[in-house]
A and B are shown apart, each in its own frame.
Chain A
Amino acid sequence: MQILMVEGVFLILLIVITLSIILNRDLLATVVMFCAFSFCASLLYLIMGAPDVAFTEAVIGVVSTVFFVILLRSVDRWCKK
């Protein structure tokens, strides 16, 4: 029962983070929230009993976040309305 509650908390967090990514206009904040999404997904995989997938998700989340932050130097940080 407790493990189901933890799963539910992480699923709700995933939905909230996704909504904040969609509604945000600051691209740097979007990239940081994407990293948080990756972290929550990784913990969710760990709870569901797939540590291998969780490890891969953690590594790839870090690498893609670093690449997005570097690429922010060549685009504008703020979206136009």
Chain B
Amino acid sequence: MKRRFGGMILDCAFRIMIPFMVLYGLYVLLHGEHTPGGGFQAGGMIAIAIVCVRLILGTQSNLRDLGAKAALWAGVGTFIYLLTGLVCVLRGGNFLEYEYLPFFFQEAAQYHKAGIMLIETGVTVCVAATIVNILDAVIERVDEDDSDD
């Protein structure tokens, strides 16, 4: 969107709400073992916060350059997932066999928690970046159609 979407009220309201949206996304990610939620939902929450910022502020937003790098960040998320699996393979285990991760824990359950947290972080980054990438494609299409009129 070249034009900004909101007026003063939307602007002020979302300045208060967006930090809480990002914080709730991080809570869903980090607390996902005990409660419903996980990497996909956390990525969706964080992506909704970024989408709201870009719609309301338009080109004045500080996040407008994120669209060009969103595909890169999606790759980074996939790389975190793959790296977690490949480190286990290089240290002598199977793919994603968390007991072979290079940590110094006593129990196998702690290895499982750390490994699952790593791959969930990768999924979160990948999902959020992919949704921002789709938003960027949509906005580019709409701006093209606007300039034709």
Contacts and interface: CB of A to CB of B under 8 A. Distances in A.
B145 interface: yes
Interface string B36-67: 11101100110110010001000000000000
A74 B37 contact: no
A70 B44 contact: no
B82 interface: no
Given A67-B138, A73-B146, A60 B44 contact: yes
Interface of A is mostly: helix
A63 B142 contact: no
A71 B45 contact: no
Give the most central of B36, B40, B139: most A CB within 10 Å.
B36
A33 to B, nearest CB: 21
B59 to A, nearest CB: 15
- Size bin of chain B's contact surface: 20 to 34
Interface of A: 51-52, 54-56, 59-60, 62-63, 66-67, 70-71, 73-74
29 contacts: A52-B36, A52-B41, A54-B36, A55-B28, A55-B37, A56-B41, A56-B44, A59-B41, A59-B44, A59-B45, A63-B44, A63-B47, A63-B48, A63-B51, A63-B131, A66-B48, A66-B51, A66-B55, A67-B135, A67-B138, A70-B135, A70-B138, A70-B139, A71-B138, A73-B142, A73-B145, A74-B141, A74-B142, A74-B146
